Amino acid sequence: MNDRGTQAKLSLYYYDQCSFCQRVLRVIDELGVEVELRNVLTTPGHREELIGARGRGTVPVLKTDFADGRSEWMGESADIVEHLNTLRAA
């Protein structure tokens, strides 16, 4: 995935029963975007990483890791969906 001219890796922090997460997962499937799925209920380390970075465990959260070492975290399903659609259009 290209963002701002650098190679980026996307990861989604989620859990299956979350309706907001399901909304994001559907869009990921529809767009065919490559996103690593990090279930915070089945893998406690993912939840710990999320809380360490954002101070809370609320999902969904999209993490973007850039090739230059930067990471950006984005919450709110509507914002994530809009962002994914923007990346797809680019």
**Where do the domains of the chain lie, and which CATH numbers do they carry?**
2-89 (3.40.30.10)
Beta-bridge partner residues of 10: 64
Between CA 82 and CA 88 the distance in angstroms is 10
Count Cα atoms within 13 angstroms, Cβ side, for 40: 21
- Cβ atoms of 87 and 39 within 8 Å: the answer is no
- Average pLDDT score over residue span 46-51: 97
How does residue 21 score in pLDDT terms, banded at 50, 70 and 90?
very high
Beta-bridge partner residues of 2: 7
pTM of the complete model? 0.89
- What share of the chain in percent tops pLDDT 70? 91
> Which of 76, 71, 52, 78 shows the shortest CA–CA distance to 6?
71
SS3 49: helix
Between CA 23 and CA 8 the distance in angstroms is 22
pLDDT tens, residue by residue, 50-78 = 999 999 999 999 999 999 999 999 999 99
